[in-house]
């Protein structure tokens, strides 16, 4: 018998620094030449059953999440990275019923902006109950 109550702690699955090539942006060179994008996803879900059973069917298959992100970043075109992040979050919540909350960060390492900086990024959090 577990002493944990639902909601007393949060389990998370991380997919970090996935890299894809896409054609998102508002500048013409972004839509023609494309650029690299990095995506981080954190999914909040209950992992007790998977941890106790060692059964892939009781967790979220990381390969499926990777493929979903790849299909969005490389297969669609958006003006805004905000829209990329929103689409990824919505699709994860729509496809994986056990995910209660998802955090998505989309990073553009080399946007066509004059200046010295490491990257630009957006990060969003979406809840199943929103």
Six-digit token pair at 43?
């999914």
pLDDT of res. 59: 95
pTM: 0.90
Residue 105's DSSP bridge partners are 40, 123
Residue 122's DSSP bridge partners are 106
pLDDT tens figures, 63-92: 999 999 999 999 999 999 999 999 999 999
| Residue that is written with structure tokens 């390969």 in the block | 63
What distance in Å separates the CA atoms of residue 88 and residue 69, rounded to the nearest whole number? Answer: 6
**Residues annotated as part of the active site:** 108
Q: Where are the alpha helices (DSSP H) in 1-108?
A: 28-33, 48-53, 62-75, 81-95
Structural domains for the chain:
12-127 (3.30.1130.10)
Nearest to 128 by CA among 103, 92, 101, 95: 101
| Residue that is written with structure tokens 């905000």 in the block | 82
Tell me the average pLDDT across 5-23: 86
């Amino acid at each position: 018998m577990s002493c944990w109550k639902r909601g007393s702690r949060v389990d998370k699955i991380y997919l970090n620094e996935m890299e894809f090539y896409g054609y998102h942006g508002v500048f013409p060179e972004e839509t023609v030449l494309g650029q690299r994008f990095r995506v981080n996803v954190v999914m909040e879900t209950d992992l007790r059953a998977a941890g106790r059973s060692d059964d892939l069917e009781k967790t979220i298959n990381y390969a499926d999440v990777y493929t979903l992100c790849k299909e969005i970043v490389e297969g669609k075109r958006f003006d805004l990275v905000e829209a990329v992040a929103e689409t990824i979050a919505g699709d994860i919540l729509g496809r994986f019923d056990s995910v209660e909350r998802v955090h998505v960060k989309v990073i553009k390492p080399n946007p066509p902006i004059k200046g010295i900086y490491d990257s630009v990024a957006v990060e969003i959090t979406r809840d199943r109950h929103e």
